[in-house]
Amino acid sequence: MIVGIIGATGYAGAELVRLLAGHPGVSGFALASVSHEGDRIEHIYPNFLGKIEATLVKPEEAISRSQVVFAALPSGVGEPFAKACIEKSIPFIDLSADFRFDDDEETFAAWYGKSFVYNELRNYSVYGLPELNRSRIKELASAKKLIIGNPGCYPTGASLGAFPALAKGIAGPGTIIVDSASGITGGGRDPSRSFHYPECADSLAPYKVGAHRHTPEIARNFQAMAAMAARAVSVQQGPAVIFTPHLAPMNRGILSTIYIPLAEEWRPKERSGASRLSGAPRPPTKEIEEKAGEIRRVYEDFYKDEPFVRVLPAGVIAASGRVRQSNFCDISIHLDQAGTTLLAVSAIDNMVKGAAGQAVQNMNIIFGFDETDGLKTIPALF
């Protein structure tokens, strides 16, 4: 199978090339780049020398030569390519935000400053979080016309960390807080002051506080997941979300801590109190630790058939370094000392499960490959 990649010279595009080069169902590439047309991919990325050789062509040529097309482009520019693929019945997997909001043009325009170009394309699109929408992806794939809105990196880690709690009624009323730290590759390949080494090395800082455009995507996912719980069938609005991203001095990875209020029936009956003298909280009780174990077992059962979600055993805390260059999402489960809040910690590689790897996973589902094909890499710990 020939795979087309439009935007092959960006970080996500190059990561697609790297992953798909080892895919047993891929026999060749049609790589496109508007800014580097005529150049060779192995000259732009010398790590491909001796392994991958390809001249970069126009997007239209890549589409004409391919059986599936990935687009690793900025949001708001890929719809004409999606339309061309739909007309040729070629699956189109889009890594931008263009198809992440279904037909909710109002939300997309508010956060991305652009309107839909071809509204009718949403008839063929599906939000591509496999753990949430696998059956819908397969349904549209059988119809031969399909657009995947590949999820954003932050929403992937946050959503997988909260999914079982929302779907199984563990989450109670109240605001869910998501604190995430990402490696600098999330900012893309074009240089900017924020990602200049002296600006970001040896420093951890939040950015776009209260205003990051992945917030509505996280909120939509939480709403869809909460609707799966019997208690939330009639709920029209999901839980409120506060999302704060941080830039971390590392190349890859996203670590998210998700603070989820517990439903009353999931709160331990015996909770840690506070010092009568100072009001300071006391350590967690044994019952709180047992309740954390009970919730962990719910997560383990929920994800038992998912090839890329690893619920970690008690005593092991999720860390970005343990999923590096892999498509895994690691999740560790904790309760606060009072036993009223679930702390789910998730770790992904922002360039793999948060971008290119998840896109390959979606391709595997579409074509009936083993879902792990091209994604069997064991994480590089150091």
For the annotated catalytic residues, the residue numbers are: 153
Spatial strand order of the sheet with 329-335 comes to: 205-206, 241-247, 176-182, 254-261, 341-348, 329-335, 309-311
Q: Which helix (DSSP H) or strand (DSSP E) does residue 93 occupy?
A: strand 92-94
Residue 51: beta bridge partners? none
| Burial tier of 100 (Cβ tally within 10 Å: 0-12, 13-18, 19+) | buried
Residue 329: beta bridge partners? 309, 348
Report how far residue 22's alpha carbon sits from residue 11's, in angstroms, rounded to the nearest whole number.
18
Q: Which amino acid is at 315?
A: G
CB 31 within 8 A of CB 17: yes
**Residue 356, token pair as written in the block:** 């290119």
* 3-state secondary structure (DSSP) of residue 27: coil
Spatial strand order of the sheet with 125-127 comes to: 28-32, 2-6, 68-71, 92-94, 147-149, 125-127
Report how far residue 2's alpha carbon sits from residue 29's, in angstroms, rounded to the nearest whole number.
5
Residue 343: beta bridge partners? 259, 334
C-alpha Rg value of the chain to the nearest Å: 21
